[in-house]
Amino acid sequence: MNEAIRQLAPQAMWNNFADLNAVPRPSKKEEKVIQFIKSFGENLGLPTYVDEVGNVIIKKPATQGMEDRVTIVLQSHLDMVHQKNVDTVFDFDTQGIEMWVDGDWVRAKGTTLGADNGIGVASIMTLLAATDIPHPALEALFTIDEETGMTGALALKGGLLDGTIMLNLDTEEDNELTIGCAGGIDVTATGVYSTEKPTHTNAFQIGIKGLAGGHSGIEIHKGKGNANKLMNRLLLNLSRQFSFEIASIDGGSLRNAIPRESVAVVVINDSNVAAFQAEILKYDAILKHEYQTTDPNVYAAIESTEIPSNVLPQAFQHTLLRSVYACPNGIYRMSPDIAGLVQTSNNLSRVLVKDGTYSIQCLTRSSVDSEKTDLQYAITSVFELLGAKVEYGGSYPGWTPNPASAIVKLMSELYQERYNESALVNACHAGLECGILGTNYPKMEMISFGPTIHGAHSPDERVQISSVQKYWGFLLETLIRIPKK
């Protein structure tokens, strides 16, 4: 299946991508890919260094005639989001990604593809291995754990890199030059409750499934359905009509992915079964109507299941549903200064309630730190009213745009020259590592770009083949035009 990928142009880059995708590399479990990249650099005879947390740095001298140019840092992250369809049997810890060509796109078979940020990694590998591509001195920085905390970038020490310009290869539209991004923080509410024995006699599993999901930063403005919010809406509305007991709720997975699925187990009495099932069918029709554009495959379903051993107390169930209902989700504020840019948002990414414990996870983003804190406290207030313990983690800064920098001017002019149109120079609502890396390298100019990737952080992830070719040519020409020291 992956052999067709290896025949695509530029062939060396696609071969490196295929080799990379054969290595399991989910976030937090990057040991194999760290060793893979380390061996890659060492086998080329290039100076290769692995820091204390697993970031890999490989340095390559300038090609002949380019020795007087500024040293360039090329940066991408090694980890990938691990998401799969519910009916896909796949182990991200042991298996390589199965890819296929779909017209002008490369996709994966039922899983995330890893083009985010594997295309960037493969591009850097290709430049490191090439003997016929002119370039200035290169410092390749491969960071770890970008997708679930940016801990690699946060831990990178100053003094390891000499470059004064960094090209971050992690943007997902080939007509964009990104020069700023949002910061973020994880907000987690946890607690315990006293379980009770179920008093009703019919148990059902309710599912909200078929949502598109996607990147909780760059796609948060698209109005996609959030499975956790939609499940909670259903349960709260049902509670206004029926007496039932919730045994468990399990929705979402990763903080940086818009939740695609949620499952709840409930118990009701005999007299309510038919009416209860009918309400689920009504809600299914509502979802299909409301989300026909953004999530055309969404559905609500109900099926019988075994009687659970315990359920939530009614008082806690009442408060829990209202707390989740009140939790902000989606866009909190648009930027008043940059048209179309989401300034602050929240993703209610994970709801797990079962066997006397609960955990509710959010990823809050903003390009304005004070507003990020405001939303963080709004979420905290909601769950403190539930009696939860609210904790914060994974905080990282935003990246302040510098549109006057020399590399922005150079690449903007080059884009206009090559494609006879202006590049979209912007900031994004995703979390890029540039802002973090800039704390220890404050004089380094940075810019982010890449090929067109759609559906990142979901099994619909795909990368456009023609766009990769466009991006690759743009990258090579950029390296040729890097200014002298």
Q: In what side-by-side order are the strands of the sheet with 56-60?
A: 48-50, 56-60, 138-143, 72-77, 165-168, 445-448, 176-181, 424-428
For residue 330, the cross-strand partners are: 346
Read off the tokens for 446. 């940075």
* Rounded Cα–Cα distance for residues 226 and 396 (Å): 24
pLDDT at residue 1 tops 90? no
Query: Are both 57 and 75 inside the same structural domain?
Result: yes
From 354, 373, 396, the end of a domain falls on 396
* Residue of 79, 219, 433, 445 with catalytic role: 79
pLDDT at residue 30 tops 70? yes
Q: How many domains does the chain have?
A: 2
Q: Which of 372, 351, 369 is nearest to 360 (CA)?
A: 351
Cis omega (within 30 of 0) for bond into 117: yes
pLDDT at residue 338 tops 90? no
* Rounded Cα–Cα distance for residues 123 and 118 (Å): 8
From 396, 429, 457, the end of a domain falls on 396
Per-residue pLDDT tens over the stretch 386-440: 999 999 998 988 898 888 999 999 999 999 999 999 999 999 998 889 999 999 9
For residue 273, CA distances in Å to 41, 237, 244, 262, 313 come to: 63, 16, 10, 21, 21
Lowest-confidence region among 84-88, 106-110, 120-124, 178-182: 84-88
For residue 150, the enclosing domain spans 3-181+398-480
Per DSSP, the three-state class of 142 is strand
Residue 292 contacts by C-beta under 8 Å, 6 or more apart in sequence?
A: none
* Rounded Cα–Cα distance for residues 148 and 352 (Å): 18
What DSSP line would sit under 170-202, residue for residue? --S-TTEEEEEE-EEEEEEEEEE---B---SSE
129 burial type by CB count under 10 A (0-12 exposed, 13-18 middle, 19+ buried):
middle
Per DSSP, the three-state class of 462 is strand
Contact indicator for 100, 1 with CB cutoff of 8 Å = yes
What DSSP state is assigned to residue 399?
B
pLDDT at residue 300 tops 90? yes
Per-residue pLDDT tens over the stretch 436-467: 999 999 999 999 999 999 999 989 999 999 99
Contact indicator for 263, 230 with CB cutoff of 8 Å = no
Question: Is-catalytic flag, 79?
Answer: yes
pLDDT at residue 271 tops 90? no
Percentage above 90 pLDDT, the chain: 92
Residue corresponding to tokens 């309510």: 272
Give the pLDDT score at 9. Answer: 97
Query: Are both 16 and 146 inside the same structural domain?
Result: yes
* Residue of 116, 139, 146, 176 with catalytic role: 146
Query: Are both 302 and 409 inside the same structural domain?
Result: no
What DSSP state is assigned to residue 222?
G
Query: Are both 456 and 428 inside the same structural domain?
Result: yes
Read off the tokens for 309. 């051993």
CATH number of residue 408's parent domain: 3.40.630.10
Read off the tokens for 113. 């593809």
From 369, 396, 423, the end of a domain falls on 396
Question: Is-catalytic flag, 306?
Answer: no
Answer yes or no: pTM beyond 0.95.
no
Query: Are both 73 and 175 inside the same structural domain?
Result: yes
Give the pLDDT score at 434. Answer: 95
Structural domain contains residue 127: yes
